[in-house]
Amino acid sequence: MSWTLVLLLAAGAYLCKLTGFVLVGGRRLPPVVERCLALVPAALIMALVANDTFSRGQDLVLDARAVGVGVAAVAAWRRAPIIVVLVLGAAVTAVVRRVAGGA
């Protein structure tokens, strides 16, 4: 990747943000748009987690990571503290890998 490409992408990202400020200005967005925008960070994080959980390189995989994320998701749904969610997910992944014999 060249520095020219990095600078062009940075400028494009900046222009996208600047365009939003110019178009919206000081006006309030409709409530439905504000609710949708509030969900974007959670959707982005979920997309990153799903990508890292179910892929290895260019291949789709179903391995111990999926079980760990599933257990962590249930713990989060049951409103466990974040440290408990993280430790449970990691521990279950490690146990499943140990029982399955690798990977």
Assigned domain for 51 exists: no
Q: Is 6 among the domain residues?
A: yes
Is 24 within the bounds of a domain?
yes
- Per the structure, how many domains does the chain have? 2
Amino acid type, 84: V
DSSP string across 13-41: HHHHHHHHHHHHTTPPPPHHHHHHHHHHH
Whether the pTM exceeds 0.85: the reply is no
DSSP 79: T
User: What is the domain extent for residue 28?
Assistant: 1-43
- Spell out the per-residue pLDDT of the chain, length 103, in tens: 689 999 999 999 999 888 887 887 778 888 998 899 899 999 999 999 899 899 988 888 899 999 999 999 999 999 999 999 999 999 999 999 999 886 5
Does residue 57 belong to any structural domain of this protein? no
